[in-house]
Amino acid sequence: MKKLLLSVVSATLFTASLSGCATGPTAYGPAQGSGLGFASQKIESDRFHVNFTGRNADEARNLALLRSAELTKGEGFSHFRVIGSGTNSQDRGRSGISSSIGIGIGSGGGRYGRYGGSRTNVGIGIGVNDIVRAMQGNRVSASMEIILLNATDGLGDNVYEADSIIKSIQPQAFTN
């Protein structure tokens, strides 16, 4: 029974430690294997579609704004207008890992009925796909379409100054 209790405690701790891998801020950079990060597409000479996938909605929106500001400066403009935006959440639950414990008790004769006895089996199962999903954690994608502007243009609503955004939104300098 001590082995069973030790196995259950070990499986619980393992599950909790894997769930913790997916917390914390997303590193700022281009989206790659994990899918976290930014992507952008030039639609016209002064128009872009920007996307950032992060771990929560605020992070994704802020870092999509930061990427928009970087694109604006890189293209030689000072401001950008957000003409459309949205978020998409892919919530994977709190732990994302399912586990199971099974106990089997049996008895019977051995080969040719000579050896009798009983046996107890304990099994613990953790799904591999569940582990991968838990390590990836929650994902939220923020996308926006922007038009690049200069300060001399009629600025209007939903306009951001690229330099101010770059100074105010600091990306994380580390990865998980």
Q: How many domains does the chain have?
A: 1
Q: Residue 40's pLDDT is what?
A: 95
Residue of 11 and 164 predicted with greater confidence: 164
> Is the model's pLDDT at 21 over the cut of 60?
no
Which tens digit of pLDDT belongs to each residue from 84-111? 999 998 755 444 455 666 666 666 555 5
Residue 143 domain-assigned? yes
Ranges 11-25, 57-71, 78-92, 142-156, most confident: 57-71
Report the largest interatomic distance among the alpha carbons of the chain, rounded to a whole angstrom. Answer: 97
Residue 64 domain-assigned? yes
Residue 142 domain-assigned? yes
HSE of 97 in the Cβ direction (CA atoms, 13 Å)? 26
Least confident of 5-9, 69-73, 75-79, 149-153: 5-9
Least confident of 72-86, 97-111, 152-166: 97-111
Contact 146, 73 (CB under 8 A): no
Domain residues for the domain of 26 are: 2-94+133-168
Residue 157 domain-assigned? yes
Residue 110 domain-assigned? no
